[in-house]
Amino acid sequence: MELWILIGAIVFLIAFGIFRFMKARKILTTLTEDEFRQGYRKAQLIDVREPKEYDGGHILGARNIPLSQMRNRLVEIRKDKPVYLYCQSGARSTRAALMLNKKGYQNLNQLQGGFKKWNGKIKTKN
């Protein structure tokens, strides 16, 4: 009996993960660095990493709205402009996009590979 519960839980988690992955692919455009660079100046560029990560280096012109604070700071993000998101590797920006989409945001984009793959200009906090 306990084995069936465990198997059921594992199947549910796998199915839920696949659902979230498919949903993210539908609502979120993953851009190469060149594509990202071409569009982010006309968009809202948001770094969803935590403040210490942001202070350690971020893309020039990015605002820091950590994923952990995003729900409370949605008023800072306009729905009528494209949103360009990035985090360290892409996992948090995907979660941020799912949250934003649920709140009615569209035109959501993320940097492929995240900040660790960025070769453009960065700014660090002095």
Backbone angles phi, psi at 20, to 5 degrees: -65, -40
Establish whether 98 is a catalytic residue: no
> If phi over 0 gives left and psi between -120 and 50 gives alpha, with beta otherwise, what is residue 4?
alpha
DSSP state of 109: E
Active-site hit among 87, 96, 100, 111 = 87
Inter-residue contact 18 to 26 (CB < 8 Å) = no
User: Would you list the DSSP string of 20-66?
Assistant: HHHHHHHHEEEE-HHHHHHHGGGSEEEE-S-HHHHHT-EETT-EE--
Residues involved in catalysis: 87
